[in-house]
A and B are shown apart, each in its own frame.
Chain A
Amino acid sequence: MKNARAADDSILTDEFLRQLINVGEVDILVGLPTHNNAKTIGPIVATIQAGLLAFFPRDRAAIINADGGSQDGTTELVLNAAIDDVRRGSKISALRTLHVISTQYAASPTRGTALRSILAAGELLRAKTCVVISPESTQVETDWLTKLVRPIYAGEFDLVLPTYSRHRFDGILLTNLLYPMTRALYGLRIREPYALDFAFSGTLGSQFLAQNAWQDETARAGSETYFTLNAIASRARICQSFLGTREHIERRSADLIPALRQTVGALFSSLGPHMALWNASTASQPIPTTGPEREFTLEPLRVNRKRLREMFSTGVAELESVFQAILSPSTLEELRRIARLEETEFRYPAELWVKTIYEFAVAYHKTVISRDHILQALAPLFRGRAFTFLAENRNGSADGVEDNIEALCLEFERGKPYLLELWNGTQ
């Protein structure tokens, strides 16, 4: 514990520490992990300030910006966001000073280090509640803060995760892998295990800060996922809060690999240390949720499905030697078969997808090849599954999409004995 604290001190610069000491103690800490987010950060800070003024005027609050070496003036925008403008607009006065501090934790961005800086600041300021808001969101509402903070303020929960209204094809990695697998393994129906906007109690933050996981590269890359999984493992009281529409900056196709590292890498890594927990868990349970668990918008979206299908087939053909080290012969043979199908006939069935993912998870655990290579090898297969999800839900209603996701979740739950067999080496 002492070692962990010493390490935390070392990641905080003297100037940052001095500014934190000047703040004293706070009730609410809002963390903003940024890196070149000049396009969105200004309105986000203004909305946070407005939210604090509107819903927590009597509370001591601070906004902490942990920046990973932005070159586009992000930090200046955070520091220059004038609270007076917000006050004039809302005609509400805060009874306390709202502190805004920005620190550059490194010359290059690492999500884990940003979160660690925010956690360390929260502990130093003895924050009762910490909120992390993603700088990639293009539409943050003032009531997000109260939706995230109130359950913790009331002492009912330790971690509040978000649910959103999303386009039915947004977040396919979440709906087709992260949510179903987390649910099947840990028995909790957490819709956003990789939460970007979330809140937690100071106690849970300190507990996570004391973990030794910070030395692990995977944990640093997927710290948000790790945080959720750690909360599950420590039996923290978790709830969900519906925040509304999630609008975010468009991601490029090159973002898939980092996304896999941040989410799937962290999930696969957690299987070893939490084996006793997921081995014991049986059927999944819903968790308390304020508002709807999920909303889907259905506006038409043109996606280059042909490219997804081509990249799947190319991947299966070209990466055969890699897949031989990861997958069982029967799964690989089945993948070869569907890769030969015409576009109109092509489907990556849920059962095969679940089998593939569980075999990847065990290969990752056993490190049959470099773990990062295993995650990269998953990308073309995920594209095949994404193609199928798009095809199956092309004309589907919101309920239809939800039913499709639910069916996949049940498939993941049914496939759990297969994962255990692989894990224990009986297959």
Chain B
Amino acid sequence: MREMIVNELTQAMQGISRGFAHILPRIIVLVIIGFVGWVVAYVLKLSLRSILRLVKFDKLSENAGASQLLSKAGLPSATEVLSQFTFGVAWLGFILLGVSVLGVFGLQEQIARFFLFVPRLFVALFLLFVGLLGASFFSRAALLAAVNANLPSPRLLGIAIRSIIIVFALSMVCEVLGVAEETMLVAFGIVFGAVMLGLAIAFGIGGQGLAQQFLENRFGRGKDDEGKRDELSPL
């Protein structure tokens, strides 16, 4: 009886030793891959940071309004955030590569999914940035044009254009990420339609006075201003 217990324990210990001997090299490989990954990700971060500083990415980000968002969220500059994000994603990718070497059942598929998702994540980030940049540029262009044309409510026009472009960009981002595609499509349609209908009603019914004022400014003058020039020749 005693011998049987000793044998079983011995076999179990041998099994554990064999299993440990079997997995130890893989763990070492995981650590090595993790370390190499850290080095590669760090170099990638430094390179990306230099490139982004060279192309004045922070200024672009400021123009896009992304810097203000980051600042409100207590995050560092756009260059720093993107560099850290790239470092994180690259290192995580290497660690997952190392984990796949362990041969854990069911994990391989998830890791493959992650690697398929990474490019889409970057495309989505790029789309979001371009969307914010476009929204900022076009809303400012509309605001300036409206102010210089003496149109009523120029800021409202700027905000409306910014909102439409941001909603449009967000719907594209969600489509790329595969997140609530149909919901976003419907939401975009509803928001866009609502804004257009709202503007039409506001200007057509609610804004009769504004419309009248706009048309008078555009095509005619009040009695007080008759015979006066609107503007002098600047040159």
Pairwise interchain contact B137-A322, C-beta atoms closer than 8 A = no
CB distance from A257 to the nearest CB of B (A): 6
Nearest-Cβ distance from residue B123 to partner chain A, whole angstroms: 26
Tell me if A253 counts as interface (CB < 8 A to partner B). yes
Greatest chain A CB density within 10 A among B140, B141, B154, B231 is at: B231
Interface residue ranges of B121-155 to A (CB < 8 Å): 137, 140-141, 143-150, 154-155
Contact count band on A: 35 or more
Interface readout for A377-403 with B: 1 if CB under 8 Å, 0 if not?
101101100100010000000000000
Task: Tell which of B77-85, B193-201, B221-229 binds the partner.
Answer: B221-229
Do A376 and B235 have beta carbons less than 8 Å apart?
no
> B154 to A318, Cβ gap below 8 A?
yes
B150 touches A311 (CB 8 A): yes
Q: Which of A255, A322, A368 contacts B144 (CB 8 A)?
A: A322
What B residues does A171 contact at CB under 8 A? 233-235
**How far is B141's CA from A377's CA once the two chains are assembled, in angstroms?**
10
Interface residues of B in 142-171 (CB under 8 A from A): 143-150, 154-155
With beta carbons under 8 angstroms apart, the residue of A251, A253, A254 that contacts B235 is A251
- Cβ-defined contact, A172 with B232, below 8 A: yes
- List the A residue with the shortest CB-CB distance to B233: A251
- Complex Cα distance A169/B229, Å? 12
A307 touches B140 (CB 8 A): no
Give the residue name and chain of the A residue nearest to B217 (CB): A307
| A422 interface residue per 8 A CB criterion | no
What CA separation (Å) do A373 and B232 show in the bound complex? Answer: 22
Does B235 contact A173, Cβ atoms closer than 8 Å? Answer: yes
* Interface: A13 (CB within 8 A): no
Inter-chain CA distance A10–B137, complex, in Å, is 34
Give the interface SS of chain A, mostly helix, strand, loop or mixed: helix
Stretch at the interface among A147-155, A297-305, A335-343: A297-305
- Interface residue ranges of A281-303 to B (CB < 8 Å): 301-303
Complex contact A380–B234 (CB within 8 A): no
**Is B109 interfacial (CB 8 A cutoff)?**
no
**Does B231 lie within 8 Å of A253, measured CB to CB?**
yes
- Contact indicator B154/A376 (Cβ below 8 Å): no
User: What residues on A are CB-neighbors of B108 within 8 Å?
Assistant: none
Q: Are A256 and B143 in contact (CB under 8 A)?
A: no
Residues in A whose Cβ lies below 8 Å from that of B149: 254
Chain A residues whose C-beta falls within 8 Å of the C-beta of B229 in the assembled complex: 250, 301-304
Known: A302-B228, A303-B228, A380-B147. A173 touches B140 (CB 8 A): no
Cβ-based interface call for B230 (8 A): yes
A256 touches B228 (CB 8 A): no
Task: Judge whether A33 is part of the interface by a CB distance below 8 angstroms.
Answer: no
Could you give, for residues 205-236 of chain A, a 1 whenever the CB lies within 8 Å of some chain B CB and a 0 otherwise?
Answer: 00000000000000000000000000000000
A:220-268 near B, CB below 8 Å: 248, 250-257, 259-260, 262-263
Indicate with 1 or 0, residue by residue over B81-111, a CB within 8 angstroms of chain A CB atoms.
0000000000000000000000000000000
Docked Cα-Cα span, A322 to B227, in Å, equals 34
B63 at the interface (CB under 8 A from A): yes
Check if B234 sits within 8 Å of A376, measured CB to CB: no
B233 near A170: Cβ-Cβ < 8 Å? yes
Tell me the minimal C-beta distance from A321 to chain B in angstroms.
8
Identify the closest chain B residue to A375 (Cβ). B144
In the complex, chain B residues whose CB is within 8 Å of the CB of A279:
none
Closest residue of chain A to B56, judged by CB?
A: A367
A324 to chain B, nearest CB (A): 11
- Contacts A302-B228, A304-B229; A315 near B235 (Cβ below 8 A): no
Contact with B231, one of A251, A373, A377 (Cβ below 8 angstroms) = A251
* Candidates B141, B146, B150, B235; contact of A259 at CB < 8 Å: B235
Q: Across the interface, do B147 and A314 meet the contact criterion of CB distance under 8 Å?
A: yes
* Residues of chain A contacted by B145 (CB below 8 angstroms): 376
Q: Do A319 and B234 contact each other (CB < 8 Å), given the known contacts A303-B228, A303-B229, A304-B229?
A: no
Contacts of A308 in B (CB 8 A): 231
Please, how many angstroms separate the alpha-carbon atoms of A306 and B226 in the complex?
Answer: 13
Which of B63, B148, B154, B155 has most A Cβ within 10 Å? Answer: B148
Residue A174, interface by CB 8 Å: yes
Measured between alpha carbons, how far is A318 from B147 in the docked complex, in Å? 7
Please tell me if the beta carbons of A256 and B147 are within 8 angstroms of each other in the complex. no
Is A194 on the interface with B (CB-CB < 8 A)?
Answer: yes
Check B230 against A304 for contact (C-beta < 8 Å). Answer: yes
Contacts of A301 in B (CB 8 A): 229, 232
Q: Which residues in A have their C-beta under 8 angstroms from that of B227?
A: 302
Minimum Cβ distance to chain A for residue B77 (Å): 16
Q: A254–B149 Cα gap in the complex (Å)? A: 7
Cα separation A117 to B232 with both chains bound (whole Å): 31
Taking a contact as CB atoms under 8 Å apart, the answer to whether A376 and B232 are in contact is: no
Q: A373-B140, A376-B148 are in contact. Are A318 and B234 (CB under 8 A)?
A: no
How far, in angstroms, from A377 to B143 measured CA to CA in the complex? 10
**A369 at interface by CB-CB < 8 Å:** yes
A93 beta carbon closer than 8 Å to chain B: no
Question: Does A370 reach chain B (CB closer than 8 Å)?
Answer: yes
Query: With A and B bound together, what is the CA distance between A262 and B235 in angstroms?
Result: 10
Which B residues are CB-close (under 8 A) to A377? 144
Q: Does B147 contact A315, Cβ atoms closer than 8 Å?
A: yes
Known: A314-B147, A380-B148. 18 other contacts (CB 8 A): A172-B232, A174-B234, A253-B230, A256-B234, A302-B227, A303-B229, A304-B228, A307-B150, A307-B225, A318-B154, A318-B155, A319-B143, A319-B144, A322-B143, A368-B59, A369-B140, A370-B137, A379-B147
Binding site for A on B (CB under 8 A): 59, 63, 137, 140-141, 143-150, 154-155, 221, 225, 227-235
A–B complex contacts, Cβ < 8 Å, 16 sampled: A253-B230, A256-B234, A259-B235, A303-B228, A304-B221, A307-B150, A307-B231, A311-B148, A318-B154, A318-B155, A319-B143, A370-B141, A376-B148, A382-B234, A386-B232, A390-B232
A→B interface (CB under 8 Å): 169-174, 194, 248, 250-257, 259-260, 262-263, 301-304, 306-308, 310-311, 314-315, 318-319, 321-322, 367-370, 373, 376-377, 379-380, 382-383, 386, 390
